[in-house]
Amino acid sequence: MPSTPPSPQPSPSPGGGVLARRQVDLAQIAAVGFDLDHTLAEYDDAAVNALACAETVDRLVDAGHERARFAAAYDDAAFPRGLVFDLSRGALLKLDAHGRVLRARRAGRWLTPAQTARVYRGDSDRPWPGADAAPALLSPFDAPAGYLFEALAAPPTPAPAALPRLHAEVRAALDRTHVAGAFKPAVARDLAAYVRPLSFRVEALARWRAAGKSLFVLTNSDADYTVAVLDHLFPGGAWRALFDVVVASAGKPAFFARGEGCASAGGCLVTGGGAAHVESLLGARGAAVLYAGDNPEADMDGAQRMGWRTVAVARERAEAARDSGVASSWGDPLLDAGRATWLAARLARADLVCARAADVALLQPAARLVPARAGDAAGLDWP
């Protein structure tokens, strides 16, 4: 007798579980993958970003910038994910899903609603022309870039022509801190202080293996740091038997366009390479691969070009908007006065959205997920 197909599972209630943007039949998925940082590994963001920010300030001072510009204390909560940079005016902006400016701050000072309307919308409620190409804070690791740029764009304000260069300098310095600085080795020496324990039991992933699916991790972190974090999350080195492939130093998003092979680093751990080779290692390709990550650009865009099904990890779904200090003026990262934000629109490009990697791990491996409401499939009907 043929087996009964699984019943469709609509998206669960707000604040937990998986929100289906498009139908995904997990029975057709052959490989399930996870980003590491801010996906499998949940950080104390305020602590790790303060550490990264301090090192990056030193880099910028060594490059010739005055330390006095960084006198204001770094406040991680003041730079939530989803803000975009206006490099023509030295401002940080919160946009709605259509690119209209909702809120704006320049050099740490808020524009009033009237000023925002005058500067960015004129006499009509039109999108900001720079919305499509503006750099943004897409990962929690990006938050220091907002602080550093505001500091360098504050009075005495640089000439407008210098602002794109200053932003590029900030991003390069922060990237250098993450890739080759003392930041990650410092975190690795005291992981218990910076990285929370795994938020689900290892047996949850073992069910996927028992259902015949391959498991993998795909991260830009280097091999030594990746091993340290995975050992912290999976005590006793359980990850080595659990995952079929762990790719370190992937170099996302360029990873998704490359075809070269990965270099073996021992056991299931490999480095570098490209998505096509990882597909061959997994024995799965295209829509048979489901991949969960937090960064719309580094994780989602390239994976979707490979035809992979994607899960956007949006911890904002489980967090109320902060209600203290500067951060409260930005409001909810996903909704603003009932309007979906630019960040919500970016996350909604994924097939599924969840608050934590645990939500994916706890799914039934043969479940069929469908949008809870007809508007979810193409719209921005966020709960």
Number of H helices, E strands in the chain: 13, 18
* Integer Cα distance of 219 and 228 in angstroms: 13
Q: How many CB atoms lie within 10 A of CB 128?
A: 21
* Integer Cα distance of 353 and 7 in angstroms: 20
pLDDT in tens, 224-234: 999 999 999 99
Region of residue 325 (phi > 0: left; psi between -120 and 50: alpha; otherwise: beta): left
Query: Looking at residues 243-255, what average pLDDT do you find?
Result: 97
pLDDT in tens, 271-320: 999 999 999 999 999 999 999 999 999 999 999 999 999 999 998 887 75
Containing H/E element for 177? helix 163-180
157 three-class SS: coil
Query: Looking at residues 141-156, what average pLDDT do you find?
Result: 95
Tell me whether the omega of the peptide bond preceding residue 156 falls within 30 degrees of 0, making it cis.
Answer: yes
- The sign of the torsion formed by the CA atoms of 256, 172, 333, 342 equals negative
Contacts of 151 (CB under 8 A, 6+ apart): 69, 70, 72
- Provide the pLDDT confidence category of residue 256 given band limits of 50, 70 and 90: very high
Torsion of CA 101, 351, 15, 134, to 10 degrees: -20
Instruction: Look up the CATH number of domain 8-42+195-376.
Output: 3.40.50.1000
Query: Looking at residues 240-245, what average pLDDT do you find?
Result: 97
Q: What is the pLDDT of residue 11?
A: 40
Give pTM, 2 decimals: 0.90
> What are residue 216's phi and psi, to 5 degrees?
-150, 160
Q: Nearest-CA neighbor of 297 among 130, 146, 56, 84?
A: 84
Per 3-state DSSP, the chain is made up of helix, strand and coil in percentages (nearest 5) of 40, 20, 40
Query: Looking at residues 247-268, what average pLDDT do you find?
Result: 95
Q: What is the pLDDT of residue 123?
A: 59
Tell me whether the omega of the peptide bond preceding residue 12 falls within 30 degrees of 0, making it cis.
Answer: no
Query: Looking at residues 126-153, what average pLDDT do you find?
Result: 93
Where do the domains of the chain lie? Answer: 8-42+195-376, 45-189
> Both tokens of residue 341?
């934000």
Query: Looking at residues 155-176, what average pLDDT do you find?
Result: 95
Q: What is the pLDDT of residue 292?
A: 98
Tell me which of 42-51, 115-124, 282-291 is least confident.
115-124
* Integer Cα distance of 272 and 222 in angstroms: 9
